[in-house]
Amino acid sequence: MLDELRAFLGRLRGAGEPDRAGEDIAIPARLASEPQPEGDEPQTQRVEQPQDFDLRLAQLSSAARAAGAAVVAGAVEMLGLDDIRAALGDRWPVLADAIMASADHELSQALRPADFYRRNGDVGFIVCFADLGVTEARAAGEDISQRIRAAILRDFPELATALKVEPFIAEVSPERLARGSATSLIEALHGSLGDMRHEAQQVAKRYRASLVTNFNLIFVPAIHARSRVTIYNRAVLETTAGCATLEQFQALADAKQVTQTLAELDYIVFTKALTALHKALKSRRGVIVLIPVNYSTLAVRATQDEYVRLLDMLPPAYQRLVGLEISGVPATATKAHLTTIVERLRPHVKWLAVDVQSLEARGALLGIDGIWALSCNLAGANSADPRLLPRLREFVSTANASRLSTLAHGANSIGAALAACDAGFTCVDGPAVHAGSDVPRVAAVSPPQLRAAAGTTRAARRW
């Protein structure tokens, strides 16, 4: 039966309109009648009967109250299946049971002996963590969600584009469980988690609104390390006022919200940078702008598509004046995925740089056609540290071996800027080199210390 269900899901995925697919695709009749094969007996803590779960929860709540602590609990939900549910109609429970069987097995394997859980709806669980703090429980919740999604997709790879598994973990006070009109502790816990999730989402929305609307974009001139001539202006999101807001938002929001918000910021930064470039070109020539974009925006197909749509609107005459810099590349990024991203961006801009902070990410980038430069951030670098110059030289050597230019950002001391120049970086920027401004600048005067150390006056070589 499950083989027929998988075949149906494959046809449903290819139908183009999932909400109408049931009208056109014959659903195997046996899906509605054939019983679901029983799996192995759960190995750990699921409590099937509500009264049993209530008893365990009452014991945990009583112990927490005595210790002056809170109950750490959460929900794990399988999302994104509404179209599949609608298409299957009364056959949906067969798929839901198969999904829950896979999820149940992973959950029972992942939880500690003292933890317990039970189903919540047709595709969700409520979990109580008996001996974990909320920080540890949230980490465990993320791990459990990833394991559950991987297990479900092993059985039903057709759900890959739709299925999302999301956890919500919180501290629930015993007093909160005790008040209200709920007839059982399960209902009280479910209601409290729902209320707290809504409250967290509302606070996160407020921080997000502040983050998206209240920021400044400044342009930092970058000099060629040998000639000390201004080469380009790097667009920088000014975070003096917004850094705390970003940290608070990231603490409250789930990973999906953070990714979506960072993508929206990338859209706004790109648009504002182009607006500033357009204004600058009205009165002067030769302004090149390097615009940052988060790796997370490009790693998700939906937000990548939206960003590429913005690039499609870039006038051809501007392509030679616009560079993109991919930031936040994780150590887990693969060369194949990065190559796909680069190939998608490269037709739209002349200059493509990647900001890397780890040796693993740097190694994945080597040998990818279309990348112009690797960059690193010098913010906080101590020029008195004897390890700084060797590290910078090693960075340059690795990039040079692949014929890549190198960019050093955020030099906040003359010593750090000079170290980058001595190490052989192609371009350097930061407060010690040039202050940022609200418009791109064609030429800016370098600090006397850098001009004196230039050692050459020849024009900057072509990138």
pLDDT at 41 over 70: no
Side-chain half-sphere exposure of 58, counting CA atoms within 13 A? 8
- Domain 2-200 identical in fold to domain 214-452: no
- For 14, phi and psi rounded to 5 degrees? -90, 0
Structural contact between residues 322 and 349, judged by C-beta atoms closer than 8 angstroms: yes
pLDDT band of residue 205 (cuts 50, 70, 90) is low
- Structure confidence by residue, pLDDT tens digits, 93-143: 888 888 898 899 898 888 888 888 888 888 888 888 888 888 888 888 888
Q: What is the mean pLDDT of residues 49-68?
A: 79
How does DSSP classify residue 410?
Answer: -
- For 320, phi and psi rounded to 5 degrees? -75, -10
Higher pLDDT, 293 or 435: 293
Residue 247: what pLDDT?
52
**Per-residue tokens: 170:** 């919180």
As to burial, measured by CB atoms within 10 angstroms (0-12 exposed, 13-18 middle, 19+ buried), residue 325 is buried
Residue 306: what pLDDT?
92
> What topology is assigned to 214-452 in CATH?
TIM Barrel (3.20.20)
The sign one gets for the Cα dihedral 361, 167, 124, 143 is positive
Q: Where are the domains of the chain?
A: 2-200, 214-452
**Per-residue tokens: 328:** 């936040």
- Structure confidence by residue, pLDDT tens digits, 229-276: 888 999 987 754 444 445 544 454 556 666 777 888 888 889 889 888
What torsion do the CA atoms of 234, 316, 264, 324 make, to the nearest 10 degrees? -40
3-class DSSP state for residue 195?
helix
* Residue type present at position 84: I
Rounded Cα distance, 148 and 124, in Å: 11
Residue 333: what pLDDT?
79
Residue 324: what pLDDT?
96
Give per-residue burial for 291-300: e unless 16+ CB within 10 Å, then b.
bbbbbbbbbb
**Which percentage of the chain shows pLDDT scores above 70?**
69
Residue 62: what pLDDT?
85
Rounded Cα distance, 43 and 456, in Å: 73
Rounded Cα distance, 428 and 421, in Å: 7
Rounded Cα distance, 275 and 86, in Å: 45
What torsion do the CA atoms of 11, 16, 19, 24 make, to the nearest 10 degrees? -50
pLDDT at 17 over 80: no
Rounded Cα distance, 440 and 431, in Å: 15
Q: What is the mean pLDDT of residues 391-397?
A: 91
- Structure confidence by residue, pLDDT tens digits, 288-329: 899 999 998 998 888 999 999 999 988 888 888 899 999 988
Q: What is the mean pLDDT of residues 46-68?
A: 76
pLDDT at 185 over 70: no
Measuring CA to CA, which residue among 237, 284, 261, 264 is closest to residue 444? Answer: 284
Helix, strand, coil in percent for the chain, rounding step 5: 50, 15, 30
Question: Is 2-200 in CATH node 3.30.70.270?
Answer: yes
Structural contact between residues 229 and 188, judged by C-beta atoms closer than 8 angstroms: no
Residues whose CB is less than 8 angstroms from the CB of residue 156 and which lie 6 or more positions away in sequence, other chains included: 5, 6, 9, 95, 98, 99
3-class DSSP state for residue 392?
helix
